[in-house]
Amino acid sequence: MASTGGSGASAAQYDVFLSFRGPDTRNNFTDFLYRSMVGQGIFAYRDSEELHAGDRIDDLLRAVDNSKICIPVFSRGYASSPWCLRELARMMELYESTRKPEILPIFFDVSASDVKLKTELYVKDLDKYEQRAGGDSKEQWEAALRKVGQIGGWEVQGKP
């Protein structure tokens, strides 16, 4: 189930889409960010609970499509989630074709080098997907990570 907040936007349009790995940041950084945005009247989308088998990625991708800004919150476990990687791939696909949505990355206890696959942190997770999801998905996800790592963002290191 999705959680949205704020006012002034239609049900089909979000100011911000938050992409994050739930166990890493849901109950701390991302929750604070979400509540701060909603408190300022920003209509934000975040999934309200962990996604389960059988849930539809289509709903998340539609929310990405209908957002003005996407904020991927890169954390240590972000690349271990195929849901997060699919969201990111969709963001980058849209951005490259239309320059929308605007993408504002946050590097939470990771660096842009990790996201650009210059360290082993995300590489080891992606290697697992080649065996499970096939090479096409892995290549698309790698390309999206490398490209988004080139976008200027904010580093949040060692802060609760």
Clarify whether 120 is annotated catalytic: no
Cα 42 to Cα 10, 37, 108, 123, 127, distances in angstroms: 12, 5, 22, 34, 37
CA dihedral (67, 4, 151, 147) positive or negative: negative
Q: For residue 62, give the 3-state DSSP assignment.
A: helix
Task: Please give the Cα distance from 129 to 60 (Å, whole number).
Answer: 20
| Length in residues, the chain | 160
Q: Which of 49, 87, 96, 130 is catalytic?
A: 87
Catalytic residue IDs: 87
